[in-house]
Amino acid sequence: MLLLTVLFAAKAQYFPIDTARLNSAYRAIISGERNIKTEMEFLETYPTTWLEFYMTYNYVDDKEYDIEMSQLCTEHISTLFGLSRINDTVKCKKIVDLTIGMKESGECTGVYQDYLVGYILSNEELVLDYLSKLKKGHQMEFWQFCWSTVTECSRAEAFNEIYNRMRNRFPREMEISRNAFRYFYNGINYPTLLPHKEEEYQRKFIDSNHKKIFNGYLDSQED
């Protein structure tokens, strides 16, 4: 019922964030004006919760729907994870809080998920330290989205790498992560509220892009 309410809100062209400010900051960053001010403007305006993210970027097949935000979803995600001049802890909090409760709902969240895994691999202690301060249920919600896949993929390699490195330092957090992986990796079906997304297309997207995206993110962190 909640997702249906969100769908109706999207059809009414209601955006829960200031999209003009967000796009202005985004354009400034990609045009070369990358500094603390523009990055903070982007970070502060970017969706803070899963519902805000969904209502901002979800495509609605309606002739009156402005598809600009849906089209910019991937570019905005890349910009979010590529922010490099702001405080690491502030950025980490934004990403973790946004991820809590997120659901796999098509291409946009698939892209976000890949960037997320790459981010965790490069910032394990930072992410786990913040997660350790949250309730166990919220930690499970975070890892549930992180490890949710509809098929086997390279996500298993990422889990093993993170688990083996962090299980002694963060035993409770890694146990929660392991339980989430056990149930959600290769453990969900395709979203049922996306009639405009064909199953074959989603499978091709997952198989061809998951490893490429988060490997690309890792490579960018080494530059």
Tell me: the pLDDT tens digits for 105-161?
A: 778 899 999 999 999 999 999 999 999 999 999 999 999 999 998 888 889 999 999
**189 confidence band (pLDDT: 50, 70, 90):** confident
What's the mean pLDDT when you consider all of the chain?
83
Mean pLDDT of 192-196: 44
Which residues have C-beta within 8 Å of that of residue 86, sequence separation ≥ 6? 36, 39, 40, 43
Q: Is the pLDDT of residue 199 over 70?
A: no
| Distance (Å, whole) CA 156 – CA 59 | 30
Residue with tokens 């969706």: 47
Q: In whole angstroms, give the CA distance from residue 118 to residue 220.
A: 10
Which of the pair, 188 or 47, is modelled with greater confidence?
Answer: 47
- pTM, entire model: 0.80
pLDDT of residue 109: 92
Q: Of all helices (H) and strands (E), which one includes residue 109? A: helix 107-122
Q: What is the pLDDT of residue 180?
A: 97
86, 82, 76, 178: which is closest to 122 by C-alpha?
82
Predicted confidence at residue 187, as pLDDT, reads 87
DSSP symbols for 68-85:
HHHHHHHHHHHHHHH--S
Mean pLDDT of 39-53: 96
pLDDT at 221: 56
In the chain, where are the structural domains located?
A: 1-86, 88-223
- Closest by CA to 114, choosing from 2, 213, 29, is 213
Q: How large a percentage of the chain has pLDDT more than 90?
A: 62
Q: Give the pLDDT of residue 65.
A: 63
What integer pLDDT is reported at residue 161 of this predicted model? 97
Residues 95 and 79: their CA atoms lie apart, in Å, by: 12
Q: Give the CA diameter of the chain.
A: 54
Nearest to 211 by CA among 128, 121, 123, 94: 121
- Please give the average per-residue pLDDT across 178-184, as a whole number: 96
pLDDT given for residue 188 in this prediction? 82
